[in-house]
Amino acid sequence: MRGLVKQYADGTRANRGIDLDVRSGEVVAVLGPNGAGKTTFLRQLTTELRPSGGTIRVFGIDVVAEPQRAKRLMGITPQEAGMFESLTVREHLQLFARLKGLARRAADAATTEVIALLALSEHERRSVGSLSGGLRRRILIGLALLGDPPLLVLDEPTTGLDPASRRTVWSVLRQIVQQGTTVVLSTHYMEEAERLSDRIAIIDSGRVIAFGSVRELLARLRESYRLSYHDPAAGNGDLRVQRYASFADAQAQIQRLRLSEYSIARASLEDVYFEIAGQPFREDEAAEVLR
């Protein structure tokens, strides 16, 4: 992406000149608060929205000039999508495999593979309309996987999934990345970004304000050690959290206060996000990280 801009008719500028390179075979996670422009960014990549300015090339193909050719290289999971409620899980996947151009036998084989990958075997004969939101979400991810596209674009793919289902999806994504697939995903889960991503882009107000590996982003923090302790001087034993540039500085504070109970932790991606974006994640997002 080069100089990517999206301005709506009412004057709202959702993206403000985004430059981003994604390497073949890597996972790039996009983080940012609600309204930061993440979904608009992804919808331009998938050809759903036409940019107001700038260029996007996918494996050398101009997404704006040749949208159908570019889209054939992608597997896409949107935040929300309508489904055929009366079809069974297997029928739904088979239909989309055929729509992607697979012959009947290949479509059947691809469907069987995706059902096994996403642990949907016990549900494959159930109608989609009878499934929970989490199971429907797994089907949408399965639709993206059909046909082994070289690029997956996933908009908050694990939202609504329980922790076990989320880890199943993570395992599947790791498998396909090992086979050379490229993944671009947005997420509200810090743990997901840390565990899956080679690099992370933080978007705020329509701009990429930081981009790099977790290690590179952590290196931007001035104070990367966090000391937590109950203040012995406070009668109510209030929990204090202080940050230090080095482990030695944190140890010096422990000795000064003669602390017997404390914890020292390295900074997390959440700390980086707070420092760079100037705001914490939502409470439900933070809770998910701690769960």
Handedness of CA 95, 109, 146, 149 (dihedral sign): negative
Residue 280: pLDDT above 90?
Answer: no
Please give the pLDDT value at position 35: 80
Prediction pTM value: 0.84
The residue among 131 and 79 whose pLDDT is bigger is: 131
Burial class (CB in 10 A: 0-12, 13-18, 19+), 77: buried
Domains of the chain by start residue, with CATH: 2-217 (3.40.50.300), 218-290 (no CATH)
Q: What pLDDT, in 10s, does the model give residues 160-192?
A: 888 888 998 999 999 999 999 999 999 988 889
Q: What pLDDT, in 10s, does the model give residues 207-254?
A: 999 999 988 998 888 888 889 998 777 666 678 888 888 889 999 999
The helix (H) or strand (E) run that includes residue 247 is: helix 247-257
CB 211 within 8 A of CB 29: no
In angstroms, the CA 277 to CA 203 distance is 8
